[in-house]
Amino acid sequence: MKRSIIKSTGRYVPDKHVTNEASSELMQTSNEWIVQRTGIESRYWVREGDDVGTSDLAYEAAIIALERAGWNSEDLDLIVFATMTPDVNLPGSGVFLQNRLGAKKVPALDIRQQCTGFLHGLEICDVYIRSGKAQKILLVGAEFQSRYLEITTENRDTAVIFADGAGAVCIEAVETNNNVGIITSILHANGKYSGALRAGMPARKSGKAISPTVIKNQEHFPYMDGKTVFKLAVTLLPKVTGELLEKANMNIEDINMFIPHQANLRINEAFRERMNIPERKIYNNIQRYGNTTAATIPIALDELMEKNMLKPKDTVMFIGLGAGLTWGGVIYTLQ
């Protein structure tokens, strides 16, 4: 039976380290407020004026993952690129990454899905691999959000949270009778909440894609109804965990490590308490990276691998919720 195995990981963040104190100089906020409400202590942003795009952040993570896998980029059957902050509006970032990697004959698939982009990416890769359509896939989650934010007091709720970074994994088809690799995945969406976290522009829905009114109304910057998203997260993440465990015929004790999306430390703490998960079994790094949207989970996985915090046969659960509303999770067992 074909199984999808994560052969290697890589991560990259830009070198501008932005502390809460530095954020406080840009808008009315404080280290105390940010730490208490979000858990974030610092984040990384691309330097102003640097000529880079999201695909360049992805490239740095991808070459680490490819080298660790011992793969040449031309060996790939597919590149899957998850981001909600592409280099340009058209085309998607996948082709920029493909070009920089020199992966001339490799198709590049872009996906959005915001905070659950990496989870959607894992499911897509698993379907490609199980069907025999692909043997070697590069999946990246990358975001360049600092230039997408309005760094003002009025928008301080999003301005202190979102950050830049990239995580990449090489996924390989392995023939085995063991229950390893991607065990199962569940994805959900509820467009009823699409207004809770959105950026209205550029759009085609009403009027011109970009107009002076749109810019005056700041519709090109993300808007977030944080309280609504927060409440949905603390309800739906435990629910989908139950669904995943049932589908995989597992108990919560069978999960060695929970690797949740990093949107807010309070969300992950509430989730942990509700599910009665011991602290050592959940990995958080939002304190150091902020919320890097599609990149949070692969960055966390790469750190866990680097710190040898996962061992063979361990089972992990990736889980997340974000704009859309979309939410879901993946159960994965190491070889």
Nearest alpha-carbon partner for 46 in 18, 12, 14? 14
As measured in angstroms, the least distance from the Cβ of 240 to ligand UT7 is 15
Residue type, 263: A
User: Which is closer to ligand UT7, CB of 181 or CB of 328?
Assistant: 328
Which of 166, 170, 240, 263 lies at the binding interface for ligand UT7 (CB under 6 A)? 263
Rule CB under 6 A: is residue 291 a binding residue for ligand UT7? Answer: yes
125 noted as active-site residue: no
Rule CB under 6 A: is residue 231 a binding residue for ligand UT7? Answer: no
User: Which is closer to ligand UT7, CB of 180 or CB of 237?
Assistant: 237
Which of 33, 71, 193, 223 lies at the binding interface for ligand UT7 (CB under 6 A)? 33
120 noted as active-site residue: no
Residue type, 123: E
Contact region with ligand UT7 (CB under 6 A), list: 42-50, 134-142, 155-163, 309-317: 155-163
Distance in angstroms (rounded) separating the CA atoms of residues 328 and 100: 31
- Of the residues 20, 120, 125, 261, only one is catalytic, namely 261
Distance in angstroms (rounded) separating the CA atoms of residues 16 and 31: 18
Rule CB under 6 A: is residue 264 a binding residue for ligand UT7? Answer: yes
Residue type, 160: V
| 181-200 per-residue burial string, b: 16 or more CB within 10 A, e: under 16 | bbbbbbbbeeeebeebbbbb
Contact 243, 186 (CB under 8 A): yes
Contact 106, 77 (CB under 8 A): yes
Secondary structure class of 127 (helix, strand, coil): helix
Nearest alpha-carbon partner for 61 in 262, 289, 261, 241? 289
Rule CB under 6 A: is residue 284 a binding residue for ligand UT7? Answer: no
User: Which is closer to ligand UT7, CB of 155 or CB of 256?
Assistant: 155
> What pairs with residue 64 in β-bridges?
none
115 noted as active-site residue: yes
Rule CB under 6 A: is residue 322 a binding residue for ligand UT7? Answer: yes
Distance in angstroms (rounded) separating the CA atoms of residues 307 and 236: 30
Contact region with ligand UT7 (CB under 6 A), list: 50-58, 80-88, 227-235, 304-312: 227-235
Rule CB under 6 A: is residue 200 a binding residue for ligand UT7? Answer: no
Contact region with ligand UT7 (CB under 6 A), list: 63-71, 203-211, 225-233, 246-254: 225-233
As measured in angstroms, the least distance from the Cβ of 149 to ligand UT7 is 12
Residue type, 189: A
Contact 289, 296 (CB under 8 A): yes
As measured in angstroms, the least distance from the Cβ of 227 to ligand UT7 is 5
- Of the residues 20, 264, 284, 291, only one is catalytic, namely 291
Six-digit token string for 78: 């597919």
The residues assigned a catalytic role are 115, 261, 291
Interacting residues toward ligand UT7 by CB under 6 A: 29, 33-34, 37-38, 115, 156-157, 160, 197, 226-227, 229-230, 233, 263-264, 267, 291, 322
